[in-house]
Amino acid sequence: MNLQKTNPALYYTQRVLFYLLVIVITVYLLFPFLWAVLTSFRRAGDLFLPPLQFITAPTTLSNYTQVFANANFQRGLLFSVIVAVVSVLISLLLGSFAAYALGRFKFRGKSMILYIILAVSVFPQIAVLGGLFTLVQATNLFNNPISLIFSYLIFTIPFTVWVLTSFVRDIPGELEEAALVDGASPLQTLFQVLFPVMMPALVTTGLLAFINAWNEYLFALTFTSSNRTVPVVIANYSGASQFDQPWGPIMAASIVVTVPLIILVLVFQRNIVSGLTAGAVKG
């Protein structure tokens, strides 16, 4: 505590070492992303340059114009938005019904249902891949975004139910009892009394589920052929020839897909941390 006075040398060494650690951590966390940003603004011919010359090489927007002109990428963005938004909306709706029942009602078999939902949220997607694939084929939904919307429910529903249940439990019971005394039905209570209170929780849960759906790769890769979502487009991004890896445009596409997520995450920082800990730690 009084190290600053009793032993200033030791105190300042400690401070310097601490800030050195802070700098190392910051560089470690941010550098790969910043390097990708930098690469996205460099011409293809400059990628060979040694680091210092690479940093000072002329900036160009050509990678971005190339990416946005790419028909696959445009379609990918469109399909990603549709698939992620629709599956998140469905799971928020169903999830809030379930969370209301699980968080507020007492009935037999409740912990059984919670166990099942927890089990679904941890089980590997590969375990349903074959079964879903035959189902997708049998219903003629191959390459149709609907197949992705439904298959994404497998992780968005357990997640929303789980997180929303823990939020519903924290809502004071008086609110709901007052509505019950007034003779409101459970659905009326849910929509008119609990939804307004749950709004922050719904936004947080929806955002986290959206991020998961936006990032999904295995199902998107398997259930579509030309109607790809953005992660698959980025993973398959190829150049003019088979051996040409167009790193500039790949990095530009990556930045385009990532920046909106980073902005959302930074804006909703506090909610996200509480949502993550509710979803992951209150096991």
Task: Scan residues 114-153 and list those touching other proteins (CB under 8 A).
Answer: 114-117, 119-120, 122-135, 137, 150-151, 153
| Unique residue bearing structure tokens 């900036």 | 59
Contact call for residue 267 and other proteins (CB under 8 A)? no
Contact call for residue 20 and other proteins (CB under 8 A)? no
Instruction: Kindly tell me which residue out of 78, 113, 171, 175 binds other proteins, with binding defined by CB under 8 A.
Output: 113
| Residue (184 or 197) nearer to other proteins, CB | 184
Mapped onto helix, strand or coil, the DSSP state of residue 232 is helix
Contact call for residue 68 and other proteins (CB under 8 A)? no
* Shortest distance, position 230 Cβ to other proteins, whole Å: 8
Buried b (16+ CB within 10 A) or exposed e, 57-67: beeeeebbebb
Residue/partner pairs of 276-283 with CB below 8 Å, 24 or more apart? 276/208, 278/163, 278/166, 278/167, 279/159, 279/162, 279/163, 279/166, 279/208, 282/166, 283/118
Instruction: Kindly tell me which residue out of 161, 168, 198, 209 binds other proteins, with binding defined by CB under 8 A.
Output: 161
Instruction: Kindly tell me which residue out of 41, 73, 79, 100 binds other proteins, with binding defined by CB under 8 A.
Output: 100
Contact call for residue 171 and other proteins (CB under 8 A)? no
* Shortest distance, position 61 Cβ to other proteins, whole Å: 19
Q: Are 63 and 252 in contact (CB under 8 A)?
A: yes
Closest Cα to residue 59, out of 72, 42, 81, 45? Answer: 42
Contact call for residue 195 and other proteins (CB under 8 A)? no
Contact call for residue 12 and other proteins (CB under 8 A)? no
